Amino acid sequence: MITFIRFFLMAIWSAVLMVVSPLLIPFFFSRKVPLFVGRYVFSPVLLPMVGIDLTTHGAENVPQDRPVIFVSNHCSHFDIACLFRALPRYIYFVAKKELLWTPFLGFHLWAAGHILIDRKNRVKAVKSLRKAALKIKGGKCVTLYPEGTRSTDGEVGPFKKGAFHLAIDAGVDVVPVHIDGTFKIWPKGRFTIKPGKVTVNIGKPIITANYTKQTSKEFAEKTREEVLKLKG
């Protein structure tokens, strides 16, 4: 019963803000309004609502004078809310284009300016990544999950190279991030939420200029190593 109540409240809260926050954009003349709401309204209410006690370490490692790409492990749907709150920048997410057709979420992703990738078509995916690189160069801080999907066992899986090609094309550094605790709270494939503690550890930037497309595999492996070190 408690789990049902948590799911219900979480769904209502998320849906309302996904619709309302984009509608505020014309009043403030800024597409960053949904990002502000995500960090200062959505997450601060949602996290205690579902019983998450969030602790963040390493926020001082995040550059404030330039865009970066945050690269994080991915354990749960709650990772998004935790990163909205933990990372000291307004962050955009890279999502698959199919989500545009998801009620509430699709409208929010489009209106807020999140980056959408057509992963079913390789040619279109490459074009989408090039457009994404231009947006990042223009000042957007982006969060990526290079594992490609949520972990099924809580461990950090192999990193795909796409995120690092994007970093190289955009010419921005990568900041490694490790999330611990969300898997136990809401693991993939489960329909129960168990309150608990979550820790987000943020590492120092990895200099993208040290890598090329030809060494993107090493770039991915180096970043994964840094994410694992943050686990503690």
| DSSP codes, 95-134 | EEGGGGGSTTHHHHHHHHT-EEE--SSHHHHHHHHHHHHH
CATH code at position 59: 3.40.1130.10
Average pLDDT over residues 95-101: 85
Q: Which amino acid is at 8?
A: F
Q: Give the integer Cα–Cα distance in Å for 205 and 64.
A: 12
Q: Give the integer Cα–Cα distance in Å for 231 and 158.
A: 16
For the chain, give the percent of residues with pLDDT over 70: 99
State the burial class of residue 101 (Cβ atoms within 10 Å of its Cβ: 0-12, 13-18, 19+). Answer: exposed
With beta carbons less than 8 A apart as the criterion, state whether 148 and 125 touch: no
With beta carbons less than 8 A apart as the criterion, state whether 97 and 128 touch: yes
Band (184; pLDDT cuts 50, 70, 90): very high
Q: Which amino acid is at 122?
A: R
Q: Is the pLDDT of residue 68 over 90?
A: yes
Which residues, in sequence order, are bridge partners of residue 72?
A: 177
Q: Give the integer Cα–Cα distance in Å for 18 and 11.
A: 10
3-state DSSP assignment of residue 222: helix
Provide the pLDDT for residue 49.
Answer: 94
Q: Which amino acid is at 100?
A: L
With beta carbons less than 8 A apart as the criterion, state whether 172 and 208 touch: yes
Provide the pLDDT for residue 230.
Answer: 97
Q: Is the pLDDT of residue 132 over 80?
A: yes
Q: Which of 1-5, 75-79, 156-160 has the lowest mean pLDDT?
A: 1-5
pLDDT in tens, 35-47: 999 999 999 999 9
Phi, psi values for residue 7, rounded to 5°: -60, -45
Q: Give the integer Cα–Cα distance in Å for 59 and 83.
A: 11
| Number of independent structural domains in the chain | 1
**Domain residue limits at 70:** 2-229
Q: How many CB atoms lie within 10 A of CB 26?
A: 9
Average pLDDT over residues 122-126: 72
Band (148; pLDDT cuts 50, 70, 90): confident
Average pLDDT over residues 87-101: 89
Provide the pLDDT for residue 117.
Answer: 82
Q: How far is CA 158 from the centre of its chain?
A: 17
Q: Give the integer Cα–Cα distance in Å for 11 and 105.
A: 11
